Amino acid sequence: MKKLRKKIIAGNWKMNKTTADAASLAEGLKLELGDCLDVDIVLCPPFTALSAVSGIIDDCHMKLGAQDMHWESEGAYTGEISSGMLRDLYCNYVILGHSERRAYFGETNETVNKKVKAAIAATLIPIVCVGETLEQRESGTTEAVVRDQVENSLAGLDDDLAKIVVAYEPVWAIGTGLTATPDQAQDVHAFIRKLLAEIGGSDIADGVRIQYGGSMKPANAAELLEKQDIDGGLIGGAALDVRSFAEIVKAAM
Ligand code: 13P
């Protein structure tokens, strides 16, 4: 049966691009992709460039996302950004629990869970990231790790489970040039959908989009995206260039 889920391609620009560089990338992407309605396209620049990119894409179909947020709405949390601040800049999405935040900045399933709930309360769509390290894959614990991340990052959502996007990003494939094969990725995506069904029932699980992330590029996007449970991509390096990001989006059409 053909999938009914609309594909979603998001560019995670990570800690790259000054305001001027981000604006020029956004302008270039708007020319190529601004009219696209077949695929949901999300640009996630660094916080400092959100405002500039927001102003550029506000008259086209691309959406804005942030790369993280705090769960509190305001207060004495030096260096943090709240959901309301993101909404104020017309963000629609926020990446949460990226493996780089988990590995370098102490993000845990518990903090991700608080952030997911705060994002949904602010009508932001969380893109919740999960994925195993190379060591975990090689020791055969991929499913246990992903189960722990999914169950605990998404605990207590009930029907709000329908309001999220999940990104499966095997840590060993991020920025390494190594990509999960389409079959490897599909296996984990199907497993994640099974977990979502256990949590929220199969109707909700069937509607949740699960992106793949980890060295996705024009050369491998089509074969990944044609898999039954791969509903899009969360793109790092290849999102920093108009041509490569546009080609990935076209592979999703
Ligand atoms: P790369 O596409 O650079 O491997 O990064 C993937 C990623 O981490 C997206 O969030």
Residue 68 near ligand 1, beta carbon < 6 Å: no
Residue 61 annotated as catalytic: no
Confidence of residue 4 (pLDDT cuts 50, 70, 90): confident
Contact 9, 248 (CB under 8 A): yes
The answer as to whether 181 is a domain residue is no
The answer as to whether 192 is a domain residue is no
Backbone angles phi, psi at 62, to 5 degrees: -75, 150
3-state DSSP helix/strand/coil % of the chain, to nearest 5? 50, 15, 35
The predicted model gives 2-17 an average pLDDT of 92
Ligand 1 nearest-atom number relative to CA 239: 2
Q: Is the pTM of this model over 0.95?
A: yes
Residue 157 near ligand 1, beta carbon < 6 Å: no
* Closest listed residue to residue 150, CA positions, set 192, 210, 209: 192
* Percentage above 90 pLDDT, the chain: 96
Contact 69, 81 (CB under 8 A): yes
Residue 189 annotated as catalytic: no
The answer as to whether 46 is a domain residue is yes
CATH number at 126 reads: 3.20.20.70
Q: What is the pLDDT of residues 98-129, one digit of tens each?
A: 999 999 999 999 999 999 999 999 999 999 99
Residue 214 near ligand 1, beta carbon < 6 Å: yes
SS (H, E, C) 60-126: CCCEEEECCCCCCCCCCCCCCCCHHHHHHCCCCEEEECCHHHHHHCCCCHHHHHHHHHHHHHCCCEE
Residue ranges making up the domain that contains 86: 8-168+218-251
The answer as to whether 183 is a domain residue is no
Question: Domain total for the chain?
Answer: 1
The answer as to whether 188 is a domain residue is no
Q: What is the pLDDT of residues 68-100, one digit of tens each?
A: 999 999 999 999 999 999 999 999 999 999 999
* Closest listed residue to residue 12, CA positions, set 233, 243, 249, 248: 233
The answer as to whether 210 is a domain residue is no
Ligand 1 nearest-atom number relative to CA 177: 4
Residue with tokens 């189960």, as numbered in its chain: 147
The answer as to whether 126 is a domain residue is yes
Residue 170 near ligand 1, beta carbon < 6 Å: no
The answer as to whether 199 is a domain residue is no
Catalytic residue among 70, 107, 169, 189: 169
Residue 215 near ligand 1, beta carbon < 6 Å: yes
Distance CA 156, CA 152 (A): 9
Pairing type for strands 8-12 and 232-235 reads parallel
pLDDT of residue 3: 60
Distance CA 224, CA 216 (A): 8
Q: For a ligand 1 pocket test, name from 9, 13, 14, 93 the mutation site with the most ligand atoms within 8 angstroms of its C-beta.
A: 14
